[in-house]
Chains A and B, each alone.
Chain A
Amino acid sequence: MIYAENLVKTFSKNEKKNKKRDINAVDGISLTVKSGEIVGILGPNGAGKTTLLRMLARLMKPTGGEVRIETGGKIIDSDLEIKRCIGYLSENTKLYRRLTTREHLSILGEVYGLTEKETEDKINEITEVLSMEDFIDNRIEKLSTGQTQRASIARCLIHSPLIYIFDEPTLGLDIISSSAIIEFMKNEKKKGKTVIYSTHYMEEAEYLCDRIIMINGGKIIKEGTPEELKKETGAGNMREVFYGLMAGKELLI
């Protein structure tokens, strides 16, 4: 289970005439995601999705608020221990082009403190799950987009994290690759893992997510199961829910 309490991230932006202005990219977001739950973060570009996910994964330090993880009655709040529990993936987490997938995995195993035997077993397991037998010993630069994405997921799996944080994992992938990733998330949920992910694909979110959090301007504007959201807004599907909420937001301004 991962908690976030009143997370705030302030960036100072350079405006015209050399004046600085503080902007809250994330402006007081609190959330709790239980194990065995998939939560989708939806919102337009610039809503603060990436910043929120980066703070959850401890890539960024929040200006205000806290992130904690609870597992088996233990509370984890140090940066390094939180990172140890999380598998984070975004379009910015690229792999080293000149290294092979196997090299990535065995080095990461060492970083996460696995023994050689554990690492080797884990690599074999991951290779089978993601069917990477054909390309695990090829350098990343030689792989196709779909293969690279599978290698990236493999990277998140090596330390058997409790929580997956994926920032637009299906962006730019073909249907086969993206459905493989969706199936993967579903399987991990069945194993009791926590999944938080952001996407622009409404149908995908509706199909996959137990709960959806809509954010805009750094704040949560709506939260609930897909059914609740549809019922509340009277929309037929998530796309309409999204349009309705974003249009309403604009009217408010």
Chain B
Amino acid sequence: MSKKHNRSVTKALFKKEILDVIRDKKTLIMMIVVPVILYPLIFIVAMQAMVSISGSMEAHTYNIAVSGDQGDAFVKKLTDSESVDYSLNVTFYDSDFAYKEALSAEETDVFVSCETEDGKPLYRVYYLSSVTNSSYAADIVWEILGLLREDITREKIEAAGLDYEDIIEPISYEGVDTASGEQSMGSILGSILPFMLIVSLIMGTMYPAIDTTAGEKERGTLETILTLPVTNRQLIVSKFLTVAIIGIISALINLISMGGIGLYMYNLMGMTGQSGGVSLVKFVPSIIICVLAVLAFSLFISAMTMCITAFAKSFKEANNYITPFMLVVMFIGFIGFIPNVELNAQMAVIPVANICLLIKNIMLFKINYSIIALVLISNIAYAALAIMFLSKIYDSEAILFGDMKNGIQIFEKRSNIKKGGVPSTGDAWLLMAVTILLIIYAGGMISVKSVTAGTVTTQAIILLLPLCFAIYTKKDLKKTYSMKKTDALGYVGGIVLMAGAILIGLIVTAIISSIFPESAVSASAETEELMSMGFPVTLIIIAVMPAFCEELMFRGFIFSAMRNRYKISTAIIIVAAIFGIYHMSIVRFFTTGLLGAVLCYAVYKTGSILPAVIMHFLNNALSVIESYYPEQVGKVMPFLVEETVTVSDVLITALAGVVLFALGILILKHTGKKISLRD
């Protein structure tokens, strides 16, 4: 086939796809109605709501209840400083005033008890933080109390014959914002715009992606297309172009709509004299880069959504698959709101996050062309990879004609789920996504308060979530979790293999931390908190719990799902990669990935999860022992603690690692079989 004809085939297919997609009402609504009508509508409603709220605030009269012997001075100050913004209604009560009831009945907005304690006036402000008026009233009281304190301080200082200003404010200071109007505006735009763009791009590409893949299967036109003399690549490229172009158009419509609202606001500010001399011309280069970023990202997101929806057989199923993906992408999109996340070379290759940070940076006029190029190229590269993957999928007849084993079962009615077997890969992927989100949210939030509680929560999530999944989908738990006994040789082989992997891991870590020196800093505060709990507790939290919980999830649930569908080597690589990613550190990715692979291998060869649990425990226990007893460990294994490493140390460690690794594999290969001497 000539190149020219090749291109005209793709063009013809593209024409068909685009005609089909734009005649779909759902796509049009998502593409045009939402941005053009809904956004301004939301904006107007929000403006109205704000105006009416601030209006009601001004007119409000706050009921203030006062009791106690120090009340007079406070009330005097209160009435003196009454302003035009609000009015106050002060009532005196006895000290046995039932303030709780009055506050919750909203008869009183705030109650101030003014007692004398230890010879000093003590004001207690009772309010209900859940009630807006009560919070506002408390703020007012707060301010008045501050003024009161200032008055008394002044009186006392002057009574002592000193100069008030000199004592209280021996130095003075003030801040001067040197940000230009453009910079302030850019910082606002930079945090909101990326998120809005990402959401609108997903919304725009979602329907065409589903329509051209799962929708085509559901409507029965896929087989028609397959009768044509076209290659998979032509087919995929035409579909991809359609989805990407619809995505781009909808993103641009979104941009224009948002831009319109922005301009409207700008004019509004200009009228009230608050725009601070913003020159819109300065934003032109930013907007051009922004459009480029939108183009690159729409290629990426179209390819990704198509990869997901291609697995589905119907619109409904595709929707189920795409929703968790959307949530993950939107979650990453929040990165624009997080301060101090820098767009460096590492960040530039992380999908979604890189686009967010890029748009944020260019709105702040931080333009680094090599980073911009890296972001754009990485997005295009990911899209190309996804397209290659898709072309492969469309080759596979099982996906086109047959039933698939990788469906998501958790969305099925429970009565429709067949009993027994191991989880589907769809369930495994979904479980992974949900677990990681939960760990980041729940585990992470608790970790801020207490590392111990955070770690325990994370482990509990890892144990319980898959278990609930498995029980709900009526899986064979023994099989899913490889609950089987194995012979002593399995344990020996596993432990030897682990020892080898740990040594190799040391070398890998050393190499990687020399490439990324900044990431080698360990979280010492966390370690300290854990170590303050004592050795046995630390051992349980760091070694025993992860050994059980992580093994049951990764080598149990996920590994058995992957094994059931993929070749064993593919399954091990997938689980190892997931395990590496789960630890969320670039330095540790390769070592944890290696350990993950080794643990999978042990489960695969022995057919039992138990050696993996022991191996995992030993690995983690080693690091606990190392941090408690560095001297003793240093005596036995000097290479673990030594500051300076010689070349011979590295070589010996590497050699020992490789030998132990090979020996472990050899032993595991013979597990369950008798090793005859003749062999």
Q: Which residues of A contact B (CB under 8 A)?
A: 11, 14, 17-18, 57, 59-61, 80-81, 83-84, 86, 88, 90, 92-99, 103, 107-108, 110-113, 155
Chain A residues contacting B228 (CB-CB under 8 Å) are: 83, 108, 111-112
CB atoms of B9 and A18 under 8 A apart: no
Given A11-B402, A18-B420, residue A80 in contact with residue B224 (CB < 8 A): no
Fill in one digit per residue for B18-49: 1 if any A CB lies within 8 Å of its CB, else 0: 01100110000000000000000000000000
Cα–Cα distance between A98 and B20 once the two chains are bound (Å): 6
CB atoms of B230 and A111 under 8 A apart: yes
Chain A residues contacting B405 (CB-CB under 8 Å) are: 14
Give the residue of B5, B15, B23 whose beta carbon is less than 8 angstroms from that of A113. B5
B415 within 8 A of A: no
Min distance, Cβ B221 to any Cβ of chain A, angstroms: 5
B414 within 8 A of A: no
Given A80-B231, A93-B220, A93-B223, residue A110 in contact with residue B8 (CB < 8 A): yes
CB atoms of B227 and A83 under 8 A apart: yes
Chain B residues contacting A155 (CB-CB under 8 Å) are: 224
Further pairs besides A107-B16, A110-B9: 5, Cβ < 8 Å: A18-B421, A81-B229, A93-B227, A107-B13, A110-B15
Chain A residues contacting B227 (CB-CB under 8 Å) are: 57, 59, 83, 86, 88, 93
B98 within 8 A of A: no
Which residue on B lies nearest to A98, using beta carbons? B23
B11 within 8 A of A: yes
Min distance, Cβ A54 to any Cβ of chain B, angstroms: 8
CB atoms of A103 and B19 under 8 A apart: yes
Cα–Cα distance between A108 and B230 once the two chains are bound (Å): 11
CB atoms of B16 and A96 under 8 A apart: yes
Q: List 18 A-B contacts (CB under 8 A).
A: A17-B421, A18-B421, A18-B422, A57-B227, A60-B397, A81-B229, A86-B227, A88-B227, A93-B220, A93-B223, A93-B224, A98-B20, A98-B24, A103-B16, A108-B12, A110-B12, A111-B13, A111-B229
Chain A residues contacting B11 (CB-CB under 8 Å) are: 110
Min distance, Cβ A148 to any Cβ of chain B, angstroms: 12
Cα–Cα distance between A155 and B221 once the two chains are bound (Å): 12
Cα–Cα distance between A225 and B5 once the two chains are bound (Å): 43
Given A18-B564, A110-B8, residue A59 in contact with residue B402 (CB < 8 A): no
Chain A residues contacting B229 (CB-CB under 8 Å) are: 80-81, 83-84, 111-112
CB atoms of A99 and B20 under 8 A apart: yes
Chain A residues contacting B420 (CB-CB under 8 Å) are: 17-18
B219 within 8 A of A: yes
Min distance, Cβ A19 to any Cβ of chain B, angstroms: 10
Cα–Cα distance between A84 and B5 once the two chains are bound (Å): 14
Cα–Cα distance between A9 and B557 once the two chains are bound (Å): 33
Chain A residues contacting B5 (CB-CB under 8 Å) are: 113
B167 within 8 A of A: no
Min distance, Cβ B309 to any Cβ of chain A, angstroms: 18
Min distance, Cβ A194 to any Cβ of chain B, angstroms: 16
Which residue on B lies nearest to A112, using beta carbons? B229
Fill in one digit per residue for B109-123: 1 if any A CB lies within 8 Å of its CB, else 0: 000000000000000
Fill in one digit per residue for B269-313: 1 if any A CB lies within 8 Å of its CB, else 0: 000000000000000000000000000000000000000000000
Chain B residues contacting A97 (CB-CB under 8 Å) are: 219
CB atoms of A99 and B19 under 8 A apart: yes
Q: Bin chain B's interface residue count.
A: 20 to 34
Min distance, Cβ A28 to any Cβ of chain B, angstroms: 19
Cα–Cα distance between A236 and B230 once the two chains are bound (Å): 46
Which residue on A lies nearest to B226, using beta carbons? A59
Tell me the B398-440 residues at the A interface (CB within 8 Å).
401-403, 405, 420-422
CB atoms of B219 and A94 under 8 A apart: yes
CB atoms of A98 and B19 under 8 A apart: yes
Cα–Cα distance between A160 and B568 once the two chains are bound (Å): 48
Give the residue of B220, B422, B564 whose beta carbon is less than 8 angstroms from that of A94. B220
Cα–Cα distance between A110 and B5 once the two chains are bound (Å): 9
B1 within 8 A of A: yes
Tell me the B197-233 residues at the A interface (CB within 8 Å).
219-221, 223-224, 226-231
Which residue on B lies nearest to A97, using beta carbons? B219
Cα–Cα distance between A209 and B13 once the two chains are bound (Å): 36
Which residue on B lies nearest to A155, using beta carbons? B224
Tell me the B112-162 residues at the A interface (CB within 8 Å).
none
Min distance, Cβ A48 to any Cβ of chain B, angstroms: 14
CB atoms of B9 and A111 under 8 A apart: yes
Given A86-B227, A98-B19, residue A113 in contact with residue B8 (CB < 8 A): yes
Cα–Cα distance between A34 and B223 once the two chains are bound (Å): 26
Chain B residues contacting A103 (CB-CB under 8 Å) are: 16, 19
Chain A residues contacting B19 (CB-CB under 8 Å) are: 98-99, 103
CB atoms of B220 and A92 under 8 A apart: yes
Chain A residues contacting B401 (CB-CB under 8 Å) are: 60
Chain B residues contacting A94 (CB-CB under 8 Å) are: 219-221, 223-224
Tell me the B346-391 residues at the A interface (CB within 8 Å).
none
Min distance, Cβ A225 to any Cβ of chain B, angstroms: 29
Chain B residues contacting A60 (CB-CB under 8 Å) are: 397, 401
Tell me the B454-494 residues at the A interface (CB within 8 Å).
none
Min distance, Cβ B302 to any Cβ of chain A, angstroms: 20
CB atoms of A59 and B223 under 8 A apart: yes
Tell me the B538-595 residues at the A interface (CB within 8 Å).
564
Chain A residues contacting B12 (CB-CB under 8 Å) are: 107-108, 110-111
Cα–Cα distance between A80 and B234 once the two chains are bound (Å): 12
Chain B residues contacting A110 (CB-CB under 8 Å) are: 8-9, 11-12, 15
Cα–Cα distance between A96 and B114 once the two chains are bound (Å): 79
Chain B residues contacting A14 (CB-CB under 8 Å) are: 403, 405
Chain B residues contacting A88 (CB-CB under 8 Å) are: 227
Min distance, Cβ B9 to any Cβ of chain A, angstroms: 5
Residue of B13, B19, B223, B564 with highest tally of chain A CB at under 10 A = B223
Min distance, Cβ B215 to any Cβ of chain A, angstroms: 10
Min distance, Cβ A105 to any Cβ of chain B, angstroms: 11
Given A14-B405, A110-B8, residue A99 in contact with residue B226 (CB < 8 A): no
Min distance, Cβ A138 to any Cβ of chain B, angstroms: 13
Cα–Cα distance between A133 and B223 once the two chains are bound (Å): 27
Min distance, Cβ A12 to any Cβ of chain B, angstroms: 9
Cα–Cα distance between A103 and B13 once the two chains are bound (Å): 12
Which residue on A lies nearest to B564, using beta carbons? A18
Min distance, Cβ A97 to any Cβ of chain B, angstroms: 7
Min distance, Cβ B255 to any Cβ of chain A, angstroms: 28
Chain B residues contacting A59 (CB-CB under 8 Å) are: 223, 226-227
Cα–Cα distance between A110 and B224 once the two chains are bound (Å): 15
Chain A residues contacting B221 (CB-CB under 8 Å) are: 93-96
Cα–Cα distance between A57 and B420 once the two chains are bound (Å): 39
Which residue on B lies nearest to A83, using beta carbons? B229
Cα–Cα distance between A110 and B226 once the two chains are bound (Å): 16
Give the residue of B1, B8, B13, B20 whose beta carbon is less than 8 angstroms from that of A80. B1
Residue of A14, A18, A95 with highest tally of chain B CB at under 10 A = A18
Cα–Cα distance between A248 and B401 once the two chains are bound (Å): 32
Min distance, Cβ B430 to any Cβ of chain A, angstroms: 20
Residue of B16, B24, B224 with highest tally of chain A CB at under 10 A = B224
Min distance, Cβ B308 to any Cβ of chain A, angstroms: 23
Cα–Cα distance between A83 and B223 once the two chains are bound (Å): 13
Min distance, Cβ A92 to any Cβ of chain B, angstroms: 4
Min distance, Cβ A182 to any Cβ of chain B, angstroms: 22
Min distance, Cβ B6 to any Cβ of chain A, angstroms: 10
Which residue on A lies nearest to B6, using beta carbons? A113
Chain A residues contacting B24 (CB-CB under 8 Å) are: 98
Min distance, Cβ B367 to any Cβ of chain A, angstroms: 44
Cα–Cα distance between A176 and B72 once the two chains are bound (Å): 102
Chain B residues contacting A11 (CB-CB under 8 Å) are: 402
Chain B residues contacting A96 (CB-CB under 8 Å) are: 16, 20, 219, 221
Which residue on A lies nearest to B418, using beta carbons? A16
Chain B residues contacting A80 (CB-CB under 8 Å) are: 1, 229-231
